[in-house]
Amino acid sequence: MHNLPHKLLMRPGAKIRLREIAPDYHGHHDSKQRALKDIQSHVERMDKLQYLMYAERKHSLLIILQGLDASGKDGVIRHLLTGMNPEGCRVTGFKKPTPEELDHDFLWRVHPHAPARGEVAIFNRSHYEDVLAARVHRLVPPAVWHARYDRINDFERQLSEENNTTILKFFLHISKEEQLARFKQRLDDPARRWKISDSDYQERKFWGDYMEAFEDVLRKTSTKYAPWYVIPANHKWFRDLAVSHIINRALEDLKMKLPKPSVNLAQIRRLYHQAELREKAS
């Protein structure tokens, strides 16, 4: 587990071949049952670290989740929120741009959802759709989406340098076969059928195009200040384990501390004892 972030990190500029990364990799655990202790430990640690961030208010955390349909973005969010106080955490899902959003630059709809100091923001899809779906479906000319890589890097550098934002980006990597199996689960389970969409099957036709687009994203936008991690996601339990482990390691590196009280504790203690005495006398 200690070397997991190093193993899954995409180094800046490295040539990525997603077909060479096994989506069913599961580390040294061979089952969810055997991993449960570590999973719970990560959740408890994440709770403490987020509490420190919220109290200290010197840093913020932006978590970006990308992946094809059924790769598990919603599942990761549910997992993370079991170890985070919702008061200090916001989740934003980025769907198809509205007409108003299309009248602005592509980052206009994203910036307002960046985390404030002390806050965790989770993006379910993100500004990367503008170099993924926009590219695959030819929604803009190649010259337009080509230029967006640099603008994305500048945007993320700004968040990192000006607001002490730690940016962690996760590509949830599943196989085409696993995606189809999850589509079947949706068909078979009445509680999941609301997720079914015609577009799920239409998008499968573009699998190869999306893999090529993701490889370019990983190569051109994984940076020291905003790294990409490729998370093997065929096993949901390993996906959750890996993401929470990487988040904890990044937060631990911030060396956060609880702030000192901003009030006179001696005076507050006197007020408390006076209130305690009045309560006993009543």
Question: What domains are there in the chain, each with its CATH number?
Answer: 4-281 (3.40.50.300)
- Report d(CA 39, CA 24) in Å as an integer: 18
The span from the first CA to the last CA of the chain, in angstroms, equals 58
- pTM for this one? 0.95
Residue 24 is predicted with a pLDDT of 97
The tokens for 134 are 């926009």
Predicted confidence (pLDDT) per residue in 148-184, tens digit = 999 999 999 999 999 999 999 999 999 999 999 999 9
From residue 187, alpha-carbon distances to 12, 173, 192, 207, 236 in Å are: 40, 22, 7, 21, 19
Asked whether the beta carbons of 115 and 60 are under 8 A apart, the reply is yes
Predicted confidence (pLDDT) per residue in 11-50, tens digit = 999 989 999 999 999 999 999 999 999 999 999 999 999 9
Q: What is the pLDDT along the chain (282 residues), one digit of tens a residue?
A: 668 999 999 999 998 999 999 999 999 999 999 999 999 999 999 999 999 999 999 999 999 999 999 999 999 999 999 999 989 999 999 999 999 999 999 999 999 999 999 999 999 999 999 999 999 999 999 999 999 999 999 999 999 999 999 999 999 999 999 999 999 999 998 888 888 887 888 999 999 999 999 999 999 999 999 999 999 999 999 999 999 999 999 999 999 999 999 899 999 999 999 999 999 998
